[in-house]
Amino acid sequence: MNNSTILQKIKSLPTPFYYYDMELLENTIDTAKREADKYGFHLHYAVKANFNEPVLKMLAQKGFGADCVSGREVQTSVKAGFNANAVVFAGVGKSDVEIDAALDLDIFCFNCESLMEIEVINELASAKGKTAQIALRINPNVNANTHKYITTGLSENKFGINMWELDSVLETLNNCPNIELIGLHFHIGSQITDLSSFKNLATKINTIQEWFFSRQIMVKVINAGGGLGVDYHNPDGQIPDFSEYFKIFNDFLELRPGQEVHFELGRSLVTQCGSLISRALYIKNGIKKNFAILDAGMTELIRPALYSAHHEIANLTSTSKTILKYDVVGPICESTDCFAKDLELSETSRGDIFQIKSAGGYGEVMASDYNLKTLYPALYSTEI
Ligand code: LLP
């Protein structure tokens, strides 16, 4: 963002809006792909992290599959260029309409999360005279050591099929002629920075596979989910450690010949390339600090309000040498509408441009219409 052409462009536009550094996105994607290719791993992109068209198009062009959690995500992905036969459809609550649409597109795989869901997909596939390929999403009961709201792989969570249900699942599968079991799927959570959690997942997958092997079942696909975290404290140009991440799975997963390993990464691919750009509307004196009131709030980026998430913030335009403490807040009538507390910034004036970093993943996609504020269209570095 030190580039003066970009700053001039940004200054000329109404705020708030998201800015995407497409070169960083491409470098990040290329790095992930290169590291995965070393082991022949297959990559899907978790569309929920960011479904902007240029972002989706780039990932599709680079040969990623799409990991979707709704019918509209499936349709949007296919429209953006992902091959339907590389689309996986996950989620605990797929509706009949969504399942039907996915069957019509002949997607690669439904990641199934309950016994009842398998029966429903069987019924809907049978009505169309089709066979649906499915993977069982198994809850491996592995701790991801991340924020409790984004932990998914513990038995107390609503996600996946528990180990004690597997016998009944196999029985059900025997009565579902329109279902073909092709894979096992796992996802233990998001923003995982303690990589030993992935080692624990890999070894747990081995144990679970043994259970299947002992029943003469060998699936083709092992999908280890997503979850690789990013460094929210050092955002500038940061590319996550894909090399170490994939190496862990290569080192610890025990595979049988012909088995494929799939991943569905979201945050690690798209977070650092995106920023929320906002203007300071007012400066207001508080006790021992000031409030910098921005024109963006929790309606544009909800992560700080929802998860107490940290995002680095920069004042891009102040040239003052005076450093002051600010609470950087939004305009919404909720006390949780705060991006940072007691942040040291160069003295801020009305009109200064702010960059809230690491906002490419789960940023714009989680923006809401609350208060009917205006979020202006995204700006892409390739347009400047
Ligand atoms: N696969 C499944 C089944 C998932 O549920 C998720 C994310 C992913 C893959 C992608 O995970 P990633 O690689 O992005 O960690 N809104 C929250 C994050 C929610 C993540 C939900 N599931 C946030 O802003 O931190």
266 lines ligand 1 (CB under 6 A): yes
- 3-state secondary structure string across 68-135: ECCHHHHHHHHHHCCCHHHEEECCCCCCHHHHHHHHHCCCCEEEECCHHHHHHHHHHHHHCCCCEEEE
Which of 217, 246, 271 corresponds to the end of one domain? 271
Task: Report how far ligand 1's centroid is from the alpha carbon of 214 (Å).
Answer: 32
Residue reference for tokens 């996802």: 187
Task: Report how far ligand 1's centroid is from the alpha carbon of 207 (Å).
Answer: 24
137 lines ligand 1 (CB under 6 A): no
Residue 55 belongs to what H/E stretch? helix 53-61
Identify which of 194, 267, 308 to mutate to test ligand 1's pocket (most ligand atoms within 8 A of the CB).
267
pLDDT band at 197 (very low <50, low <70, confident <90, very high): very high
Task: Report how far ligand 1's centroid is from the alpha carbon of 227 (Å).
Answer: 6
pLDDT in tens, 84-140: 999 999 999 999 999 999 999 999 999 999 999 999 999 999 999 999 999 999 999
Tell me: do 224 and 276 sit in the same domain: no
Tell me: do 211 and 341 sit in the same domain: no
Q: Residue 336 sits in a domain of what CATH number?
A: 2.40.37.10
49 lines ligand 1 (CB under 6 A): yes
Tell me: do 115 and 178 sit in the same domain: yes
328 lines ligand 1 (CB under 6 A): no
Give the integer Cα–Cα distance in Å for 19 and 37: 30
The C-alpha R_g of the chain, in whole angstroms, comes to 22
Which of 271, 305, 325 corresponds to the end of one domain? 271
Which of 271, 300, 316 corresponds to the end of one domain? 271
Tell me: do 285 and 259 sit in the same domain: no
pLDDT in tens, 294-337: 999 999 999 999 999 999 999 999 999 999 999 999 999 999 99
Give the integer Cα–Cα distance in Å for 163 and 165: 5
Tell me: do 258 and 184 sit in the same domain: yes
Q: Is the pTM of this model over 0.95?
A: yes
Strands 290-294 and 323-329, sheet pairing: parallel
- Residue range of the domain that includes 375: 4-17+272-383
Tell me: do 184 and 223 sit in the same domain: yes
